[in-house]
Structure 1
Amino acid sequence: MKSFPLVFVFILVTSLTRSQDLSAYDIHLTVENIQAEGGKILAVLHNAETFMQSEGVGYVYAEGKPGSLDLNFKDVVPGTYAILVMHDVNDNYQMDFDERGIPKESFGMSGGVGHMGPPSFYQAKFELSDKDLAMTIKL
């Protein structure tokens, strides 16, 4: 008889856990102001732990062409993220800098952050919560 409450709690917790919606959403990204032909437009999705430290938690890319283009991150779990975009003109999958440390390739990021100084996750962050998200990043 003492085990009945324990079994009841176990069944309740199990049913509540299974009923939670483990949803994922899409991030639709428009990249504007692409100036040159060739290379790749590379967009990397970061969380606070991966920002400027690693390859991020996901990436998408497309062939570079002047104008604008659309990219999509699929099935992203809700959370706090930032997106960095660059035009990798020489296809080496890294940002190239001149001798003064100034980027040679165009870039942009979420949050409408300007191009002065190194980017910060807290300036570029956004929330993905309970629906698909659309944003524009200008290079």
Structure 2
Amino acid sequence: MKKLLITITVFAMSFTMNAQENEGITLTVIIENVLNNDGYVLSALHNENTFMQAEGIKTSKEKAQSGELILTFENIQPGEYAFSVLHDANDNERMDFETNGMPKEEYAMSGNSLPMGPPTFTDAKFTIEEKDIELTLRF
């Protein structure tokens, strides 16, 4: 009976530890300088395969609020990611451009690069490792 109790305890502990490992990391993104309350703030967490190609692996659509917006994404597995955010002021769920190709709406991207043209995953990537992470992006 004692052996059975020890076996059950060890099994339960290993199950609990594995469940915690699968939970992943929490990513908090602080978006500064939202200029007004118009429309929505669209955001997406991307891996290299989805970056600038498809919907992100985690996305959000939050009502725009002038000032600062805080987004939280949970259960992110360690790896390399990029984060994009757009203030979709007219709520058409896409970035609008001037006739010269410049964006009409505010946007931000992870990384410190300000490319003349579309960003690359290499420029925008950051690494999530073993602990929660916080990014600050500014429109």
Secondary structure of the equivalent of 2:136?
A: strand
Secondary structure of the equivalent of 1:92?
A: coil
Q: Is the 8 A contact 1:33 1:66 kept in 2?
A: yes
Aligned twin of 2:9 = none
Give the Cα separation in 2 of the matches to 1:115 and 1:27: 25
1:90 Cα shift?
Answer: 1.1
Unaligned runs of 5+ in 1: 1-17
Secondary structure of the equivalent of 2:122?
A: helix
1:61 Cα shift?
Answer: 2.6
Give the Cα separation in 1 of the matches to 2:81 and 2:38: 28
Q: Which amino acid aligns with 1:82?
A: A
Q: What does 1:115-126 correspond to in 2, within 5 Å?
A: 116-126=116-126
Aligned twin of 1:65 = 65
Q: Detail structure 1 runs of 4+ shifted over 6 Å in the superposition.
A: none
**Structure 2 length normalisation: TM-score?**
0.81
Q: Structure 2 vs 1, CA of residues 115 and 31 (structure 1 numbering), >3 Å: closer, same or farther?
A: farther
Aligned twin of 2:138 = 138
Q: Which amino acid aligns with 2:118?
A: P
Unaligned runs of 5+ in 2: 1-14
Aligned twin of 1:47 = 47
Secondary structure of the equivalent of 1:123?
A: helix
Secondary structure of the equivalent of 1:70?
A: strand
Aligned twin of 1:32 = 32
Q: Structure 2 vs 1, CA of residues 110 and 75 (structure 1 numbering), >3 Å: closer, same or farther?
A: same
Secondary structure of the equivalent of 2:101?
A: coil
**Structure 1 length normalisation: TM-score?**
0.81
Q: Which amino acid aligns with 1:132?
A: D
Number of residue pairs the alignment of both structures matches: 122
